[in-house]
Structures are given as C-alpha cells and as structure tokens.
A and B are shown apart, each in its own frame.
Chain A
Amino acid sequence: MANIPKDLKYTKTHEWVRVEGENVTTGVTDFAQSELSDIVYVDINTVGSTVSRNEPIGTIEAVKAVADMNAPVSGEVLEANTALQTEPAKVNQDPYGEGWIARLKLTKQEELDDLLDPAGYADLVKKSEHH
C-alpha cells in the first residue's frame, strides 16, 4: 500500500502539495513513483516562469515510460529541485522529502480547496491499484 502522509494535499493526477503560507512545495506521490519505477531524468520548468493549474510543470522520465508532472495549483515557479538533475532516483527513494520537484508561489489561494485530502486520495489510489 502506498504511503500517503496525513499532512499533505493531493491531486487526482498523483501530485502532492505541502502548503507553506503563500507558497507550496510539490512533488509526485509514492504511488506515482512506484508506478513509474526507476526514474532516470527529471526536467522542471524554468524558475520564474508561471504555470496554470493542471498544466505540465515538468517531465519525469522513467526507464519504462515518460510522464508529465502537472502543476497542482496555478503559480510562479520559485525553485526547482536541482539535486534531481544528478540524482533523479531520489524521487523513487524519498518522494515526499528529498525527491520534491518544485516550490510555487500561489496565485490563486482558493485552488487549494479543490485538492484532495489524504482520505480522498487514498480512495483514488485504491481504485487505481491493479489488484
């Protein structure tokens, strides 16, 4: 069973969000990293660029597939996790910690209300798991 920390919010496309005042840190969930497995390359949008909710904020390449990482909320990219350039496997090893993807400055605070709580995301994962 995938690890789903209680202090985070989630999207239907398997991103997590940690709210820190007007900023958020985001990454992909444990379920997402385990589905992708063996992440070998992470490409994140330029710092300073703006993204709208549900638009790609980066690309995650695993051995077997490539996936877009979507912005869970609209905002400005404050910081990208540059450590992933040399150690992309951190996303597999520690998806909620050292494997974080980006920090965003929120532009639409109200979008936070649309995110899933841990229980809601757990239901979604249960349905997504093959068996």
Chain B
Amino acid sequence: MLTIDNLCASVEDKSILNGLSLEVNAGEVHAVMGPNGSGKSTLANVLAGRDQYEVTSGTVTYKDQNLLELEPEIRAREGLFLAFQYPVEIPGVSNVHMLKAALNAMRTHQGKKELDAVSFLKLIKEKAELVGMKQEFLYRAVNEGFSGGEKKRNEVLQMSLFEPTLSVLDETDSGLDIDALKIVAHGMNSLRSPDRAMLVVTHYQRLLDYIEPDFVHVLAHGKIIHSGGKELAEELEEHGYGWIEEHACTV
C-alpha cells in the first residue's frame, strides 16, 4: 500500500529525513518511535503534503501512485488521513460544516453520491457517540477552545467518519489522560481491517498498550535504525532510546 524508499526531506534547508525506507501493507499497523527531533513528525507531514517540508530525494508510492506529486487534498481523498499532532483551531467555521464538506469531497472523488444534510447528521452523531464526543462540539468552531483531549478526540472522530485506507497518527496520544487515551484507542481499533493500514507515530509506548502494532520501527537522525515486533516497544520503554542507538551502531 505504501512504499517509502530512501526518503530525504528538509525543513528550511535543515535536513531532517536522511534516507528513510518503509513498507506498509494492507491490514498492518506500524508504530514509528523515536526520540524528539528524530524526524517522526516530519515523516507524518511529508506524507500528508505540507508545503514547508521539502523532499530532496527518494520516492513514496501509495496505492501505485507517486504520492509526492499529489496535492494534499487529493491524498486525503485517496484515503490518506493525517491525525494532527496539533489540530488547528479555525474560528468561524463550524465543525459540522467542515466535516460535511470534507466527507462529501471525498465521496465525490470516490464516485459516491454526496450525503444530504439529514443522512450526514445521522452518521456524524453515531460517530461522535463512538468516540465519546458531546454533540455540542459538532456545532462549535473547528477545535476552537477545545481542550487538548477534545482536539485529539475530534481527530479520531474524523478518522472514523472518513474511514481512511491509510491513517497516519502523529503523536495522537500526547496530551491525553488515560480515559481519553482508551477512547481514542478504541476508535482506532474499530477501524482496523484487512484492507486498511495505520502508521502510528509516537514517543511513548503507552498508546501501544491499547493499539497493538504488527511492527515497531525506531527512527533516529532521520532514518529507521531498527525494526521489530511489538515486543520492541516494551524493550524501548525499559531501556530508552539510547540503548537502541548504541545497539544499532554496533550492528
């Protein structure tokens, strides 16, 4: 589904990703872990197509297309979803209005009929219940005045509404208390299926207690230095990233 080959990217002429390669297949959940500054968020943003990140070399193939050539909105409509580390507040644009415009843009792109207001409201209310979001948040401006947890919940609401093929979750667990974390994880788990995949970018292991990854990758200095199964996350938690970096150097 997703093939990243020798990807190099920079921000403001500072090189962040230095030859990252990764293969994600349908049905798989991959966790990308690493210390601060290792390039985790850069990877997530490059995949979503944020302007400020410049790809200097390498390729990314998503569903047999050159992902890097697609506009961000086309990537989204093709089923790639980025759950933001810092969801943006948009005063004046109601959440429900944005969600409807987004869902219908995706449906149109996928050759499906747009949902009318009634069917949409029915659907969004179901989804809000699933992620434990109070209905009032649907009618407030997008993320405006939401607490950290509410913002993340709103990201997971969108994920369950759009049902993306590939979800990229950028530190979705940061800033969540344990109850919110469980709800968020529940929302994510309910989307696991043989034809979908997830890339979970996280600093800590605790989210992985609730979302069991098939593969864990350690990112340092802009490349993957070690890959393993879910037990790798536990080892990292125990020994820290320093251990794996030393370990990697000796390999």
Do A and B pair up? The answer is no
**Residues of chain B having any CB pair with chain A under 8 Å:** none
**Residues of chain A having any CB pair with chain B under 8 Å:** none
